Amino acid sequence: MRTAHRVEKVRTAEAELMARLPDGALMQRAAAGLAAACADLLPRVYGSRVVLLVGSGANGGDALWAGARLARRGAGVHAVLLAPDRVHTAGLAALTGAGGRVADDPFDVLATADLVLDGITGIGGTGGLRPDAVPVARAARGSDAVVVAVDLPSGVEADSGEVRGEALRADLTVTFGTHKPALLIDPARTCAGTVRLVDIGIGPYLPSVPEVEALHHADVARLLPRPTAGSDKYRRGVVGIAAGSARYPGAAVLAVAGALRGGAGAVRYVGPAADAVIARFPETLVHAGPPAKAGRVQAWVVGPGLGEDADAVRDVLASDVPVLVDADGLRLLDPDAVRARSAPTLLTPHAGEAAALLGRARTEVEAARLASVRALADRFGATVLLKGSTTLVADPGTGVPVRADAMGTPWLATAGSGDVLSGLAGSLLASGPAARDAASAAAHLHGLAGRLAAARGVPITAQEIADALPAAWRGVRDPG
Ligand SMILES: NC(=O)C1=CN([C@@H]2O[C@H](COP(=O)(O)OP(=O)(O)OC[C@H]3O[C@@H](n4cnc5c(N)ncnc54)[C@H](O)[C@@H]3O)[C@@H](O)[C@H]2O)[C@@H](O)CC1
Ligand SMILES: [K+]
Are 121 and 222 within one domain? no
Among 175, 182, 172, 125, residue whose Cα is nearest residue 145: 172
Among 280, 279, 317, 278, residue whose Cα is nearest residue 299: 317
Are 208 and 285 within one domain? no
| Least confident among 13-27, 80-94, 222-236, 413-427 | 222-236
Instruction: Determine if ligand 1 sits within 6 Å of the CB of residue 59.
Output: yes
Ligand nearest to the CA of 56: 1
Instruction: Determine if ligand 1 sits within 6 Å of the CB of residue 153.
Output: no
Is 175 known to sit in a ligand binding site?
Answer: no
Are 16 and 126 within one domain? yes
> At 419, is the pLDDT very low, low, confident or very high (cuts 50, 70, 90)?
very high
- The span from the CA of 450 to the CA of 324, in Å, is 21
Instruction: Determine if ligand 1 sits within 6 Å of the CB of residue 150.
Output: yes
Give the domain range for residue 334.
217-477
103-161 pLDDT, tens digit per residue, is 999 999 999 999 999 999 999 999 999 999 999 999 999 999 999 999 999 999 999 99
Which of 190, 214, 238 is the C-terminal boundary of a domain?
A: 214
Q: Which neighbouring-strand residues pair with 286?
A: 269
| Least confident among 33-37, 169-173, 321-325, 413-417 | 413-417
DSSP letter (8 states) at residue 242? E
Instruction: Determine if ligand 1 sits within 6 Å of the CB of residue 12.
Output: no
Instruction: Determine if ligand 1 sits within 6 Å of the CB of residue 126.
Output: yes
**CB 336 within 8 Å of CB 314:** no
Residue type, 68: A
Are 269 and 191 within one domain? no
Are 235 and 209 within one domain? no
Sheet holding 2-4, edge to edge: 2-4, 212-214, 402-405, 391-394, 383-386, 345-347, 323-325, 299-302, 238-242, 266-270, 285-287
- The span from the CA of 263 to the CA of 244, in Å, is 22
54-63 pLDDT, tens digit per residue, is 999 999 999 9
Q: If you measure from the C-alpha of residue 145 to the centroid of ligand 1, how many angstroms do you get, rounded to a whole number?
A: 24
What is residue 480's predicted lDDT score, i.e. its pLDDT? 74
What is residue 321's predicted lDDT score, i.e. its pLDDT? 97
Query: What's the number of domains the chain is made of?
Result: 2
What is residue 235's predicted lDDT score, i.e. its pLDDT? 85
Which of 194, 214, 234 is the C-terminal boundary of a domain?
A: 214
Residue 48: strand, helix, or coil: coil
Q: If you measure from the C-alpha of residue 120 to the centroid of ligand 1, how many angstroms do you get, rounded to a whole number?
A: 8
Ligand nearest to the CA of 66: 1
Is 432 known to sit in a ligand binding site?
Answer: no
CATH of the domain at 286: 3.40.1190.20
Are 234 and 255 within one domain? yes
Average pLDDT, the chain: 96
Is 387 known to sit in a ligand binding site?
Answer: yes
Q: How many CB atoms lie within 10 A of CB 301?
A: 37
Is 194 known to sit in a ligand binding site?
Answer: no
Mean pLDDT computed over 327-338: 98
Are 432 and 384 within one domain? yes
Instruction: Determine if ligand 1 sits within 6 Å of the CB of residue 124.
Output: yes
What is residue 420's predicted lDDT score, i.e. its pLDDT? 98
Please report the atom of ligand 1 found closest to the CA of residue 177.
44
Are 63 and 172 within one domain? yes
Are 138 and 259 within one domain? no
CATH of the domain at 46: 3.40.50.10260
Instruction: Determine if ligand 1 sits within 6 Å of the CB of residue 26.
Output: yes
What is residue 236's predicted lDDT score, i.e. its pLDDT? 87
Which of 197, 214, 231 is the C-terminal boundary of a domain?
A: 214
What is residue 416's predicted lDDT score, i.e. its pLDDT? 94
Are 210 and 346 within one domain? no
Q: What is the pTM of this model?
A: 0.96
Are 203 and 239 within one domain? no
Is 61 known to sit in a ligand binding site?
Answer: yes
What is residue 206's predicted lDDT score, i.e. its pLDDT? 98
| Least confident among 201-215, 366-380, 399-413 | 399-413
Predicted-complex ipTM score: 0.97
Instruction: Determine if ligand 1 sits within 6 Å of the CB of residue 259.
Output: no
**CB 327 within 8 Å of CB 306:** yes
Q: If you measure from the C-alpha of residue 396 to the centroid of ligand 1, how many angstroms do you get, rounded to a whole number?
A: 32
**CB 207 within 8 Å of CB 32:** no
- The span from the CA of 471 to the CA of 479, in Å, is 11
Q: Which residues contact 423 (CB under 8 A, 6 or more apart)?
A: 239, 241, 254, 255, 256, 257, 258, 259, 260, 262, 267, 301, 304, 466
Q: If you take atom 43 of ligand 1, which residue's CA is the nearest one?
A: 27
What is residue 422's predicted lDDT score, i.e. its pLDDT? 98
Identify how many contiguous H helices and E strands the chain contains and give both numbers: 21, 18
Are 263 and 115 within one domain? no
Q: Which of 59, 64, 130, 134 to mutate to test the pocket of ligand 1 (most atoms within 8 A of CB)?
A: 59
- The span from the CA of 146 to the CA of 300, in Å, is 49
